[in-house]
Each structure stands twice: as structure tokens, then as C-alpha cells.
């Protein structure tokens, strides 16, 4: 089992994608020294996202690629890629810098969109992870069918992704068991922490045989963040499983480089409700727009929208639901929530 540290990729959501090439080089090298074997870098939404205006990153994709190639010498490093946002030539560019792995993200019911990208990455000798975004929106048996399909395309690993941070351990187990019953593809887990379960779920994934589990320093990441690398390393050691990572070293890296960047304190109301309702935070802009327009509690709007569509709620759907909710009269409900902390609207991007 290996840990994949995603601070420099998923963590970038928390700072509006403003890690620099220098940050990537320094923190990447430090993570390698601490024993991390898999390090993810780049724009949070992945290759080409900055160019398409999904949050302007501090650097270009190529600058991140060069920084990692120049500084990370033993560990494998890689980037995220969403077909329809990224293009096949982006995979070719990454290969020029000897990128070791790529994570190809598709909504769990749209795995066929990854086929050409998996083939191109395998042609370049990359280790390919198929990340099934919003895994919980497909029941386990159908999820397993998609995992088999991804395996036939050539994926080296299928990652169960708790995009909303609301999965329970029993639910996680059902996905692992379903895949293991029909397919030999190695499994990974990427958990968000909206309900405070990311570390516990990650430990359960390891117990279930996960080959790769994601984490980030200080838990830095999209929405409520991820399983904290520091906590996960410590918990693994307590459970008798050693991922080969120096606990004190990752604590030092987190304290020095990442903790000063953490802006949030306490629980975020929207984060908790997103986890409860299994709401993907890339749609938060729609919630902000229509909760304000119709003076409704955005938390109630999230819950009601998810009761209709967990996968891809449209602007028309969100507005129609908002119209049916009772307007709030006592407070302006959109002003007190931290909407400005939600970056990235890749789920609203129409595939190219």
C-alpha cells in the first residue's frame, strides 16, 4: 500500500490554485525525502484547466511539469486529467517531462470518455489511475462494471472517489467488495472530509486491500479538504501498517509550508451539508446564485437539489428547486457563508 500526497494538486483549491513552480519544487522534494512515493502536482482541476479559465493558476502546466521533473528524482509524480477539459496532446507534453503517473478523472458513469486518454498515457509508459468521480452516485454492482471496463482500457488502478466527503465505511466496503468479486484491478481511495470521516475511511480502504490511498498535508484540499497526511501516517503506524513515511518529517513539512496557508477555522456549514447530501462542490456557484436570487437557505437548496440529481444538476433544475422553497425573511442567507472559498466549476464544463 502506498500513500499518494495530493497537497500540490487538490490542496491548490484552498488557495485559488496559487502554488508556484518554486512551491512545487521545494514541497515536492521535501515530500520525497519524507518517503512519499507518489506526489501529485498542478492545477486542482487538472491539465489545461487554467487555460480554459477554471481558476487561473499561478503557473502554466508546463512550468509545473518542469518544476517537478527538476526536483523530484526518486518518487513518481503526476497530474490530474479530465477528458473534455484536457486534450490528448496534454498527455504528450507531460510525457516529455517523464511524468510517472496520470490520474484520469471521469464521472463514474462516463468511464468510456477515458479510453483514448488511458491508451495515450500507456503508450508513454505512465502508471494510469482511473479516478471515478462521485463514485457514490452509482450503485456498487454497476460501479464494478465500470471498473472492469476501465481495466480493459488498460488502467493500472481504479480509485473510489468520495467527492462530497459523505461516504460511510459500510458504503465504502460495498464498492470495494463489488469490484473485488468481478475484477482483479487494484483499487485506490480518495476521500474528502466533509463529515470528518476521511482518515477513518482511508484506514478502512487499506484494510480492504487498497493499493493507493490519497492524503494531503494539513488536510488541505477542496471543500472540507482531504485526509490529512500527518493524521493518516500516524493512524497507519498505530494500526501496525507502515507506509514507509517519516511521521516527524511530514509533520515538519506541514507545519512549515502548509499550515501558514490554512485560512479556515471551525466547521463550514456548507461543507457539512455537502457531505450529508452528497453534493459536489463544483456546483456551489449555482447554489450561491439561486439562493441569493430567491432568498432561500443555501443548505436547504443543496439538500433538495441532491434529492433530485446527485450527478449533474443543471442551472434550470437548481432554479426550479429554489423557486419552490420558502423564502427566508430574517437574514440574508448568502452573505454569511464562505462561498468565495469554492473554486473550480469543472463539472459545469461541456466536454470538448
Spatial separation of the C-alpha atoms in residues 282 and 296, rounded to whole Å? 19
Please say if the pLDDT value at position 344 is more than 70. Answer: no
Domain covering 2-261: architecture: Alpha-Beta Barrel (3.20)
**Mean pLDDT across the stretch 232-243?**
94
Residue spans of the domains in the chain: they are 2-261, 269-348
CB-count burial class (<10 Å; 0-12, 13-18, 19+) for 93: middle
Asked if 166 contacts 275 with a C-beta cutoff of 8 angstroms, the reply is: yes
Q: What is the pLDDT of residues 53-64, one digit of tens each?
A: 999 999 999 999
Tally of CB atoms within 10 A around 343? 20
Separation CA 65–CA 57 (nearest Å): 13
Distances (CA, A) of 294 to 6, 287, 301, 323: 37, 11, 10, 7
For 179-192, the pLDDT digits (tens) are 999 999 999 999 99
What pLDDT is attached to residue 346?
Answer: 65
Question: How many other C-beta atoms can be found within 10 angstroms of the C-beta atom of residue 115?
Answer: 18
> Measured between alpha carbons, how far is 339 from 334 in angstroms, rounded to an integer?
8
CA atoms within 13 A on the CB side of 71: 21
pTM above 0.75, yes or no: yes
Amino acid at each position: 500500500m502506498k500513500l499518494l500526497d495530493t497537497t500540490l494538486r487538490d490542496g491548490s483549491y484552498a488557495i485559488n490554485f496559487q502554488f508556484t513552480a518554486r512551491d512545487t519544487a521545494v514541497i515536492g522534494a521535501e515530500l520525497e525525502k519524507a518517503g512519499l512515493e507518489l506526489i501529485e502536482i498542478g492545477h486542482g482541476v487538472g491539465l489545461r484547466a487554467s487555460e480554459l479559465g477554471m481558476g487561473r493558476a499561478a503557473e502554466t502546466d508546463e512550468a509545473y511539469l518542469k518544476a517537478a521533473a527538476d526536483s523530484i528524482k526518486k518518487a513518481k509524480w503526476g497530474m490530474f486529467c479530465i477528458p473534455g477539459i484536457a486534450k490528448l496532446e496534454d498527455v504528450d507534453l507531460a510525457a516529455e517531462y517523464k511524468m510517472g503517473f496520470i490520474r484520469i478523472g471521469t464521472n463514474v458513469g462516463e468511464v468510456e470518455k477515458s479510453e483514448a486518454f488511458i491508451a495515450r498515457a500507456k503508450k508513454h509508459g505512465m502508471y494510469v489511475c482511473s479516478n471515478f468521480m462521485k463514485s457514490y452516485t452509482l450503485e456498487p454492482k454497476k460501479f464494478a462494471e465500470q471498473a472492469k471496463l476501465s481495466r480493459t482500457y488498460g488502467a493500472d488502478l481504479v480509485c473510489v472517489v468520495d467527492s462530497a466527503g459523505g461516504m460511510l465505511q459500510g458504503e465504502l466496503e460495498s464498492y470495494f467488495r463489488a469490484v473485488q468479486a468481478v475484477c482483479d484491478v487494484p483499487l485506490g481511495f480518495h476521500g474528502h472530509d466533509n463529515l470528518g470521516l476521511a482518515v477513518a475511511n482511508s484506514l478502512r480502504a487499506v484494510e480492504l486491500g487498497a493499493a493507493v490511498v490519497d492524503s494531503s498535508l494539513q488536510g488541505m484540499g477542496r471543500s472540507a479538504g482531504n485526509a490529512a497526511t500527518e493524521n493518516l501516517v500516524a493512524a497507519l503506524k498505530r494500526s501496525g501498517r507502515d507506509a514507509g513515511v517519516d511521521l516527524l518529517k511530514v509533520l515538519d513539512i506541514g507545519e512549515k509550508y502548509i499550515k501558514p496557508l490554512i485560512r479556515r477555522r471551525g466547521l463550514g456549514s456548507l461543507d457539512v451539508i455537502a457531505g450529508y447530501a452528497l453534493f459536489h462542490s463544483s456546483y456551489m456557484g449555482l447554489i450561491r446564485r439561486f439562493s441569493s436570487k430567491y432568498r432561500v437557505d443555501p443548505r436547504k437548496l443543496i439538500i433538495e437539489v441532491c434529492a433530485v440529481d446527485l450527478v449533474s444538476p443543471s442551472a434550470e433544475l437548481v432554479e426550479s428547486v429554489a423557486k419552490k422553497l420558502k423564502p427566508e425573511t430574517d437574514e440574508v442567507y448568502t452573505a454569511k457563508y464562505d462561498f468565495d472559498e469554492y473554486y473550480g466549476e469543472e463539472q459545469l464544463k461541456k466536454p470538448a
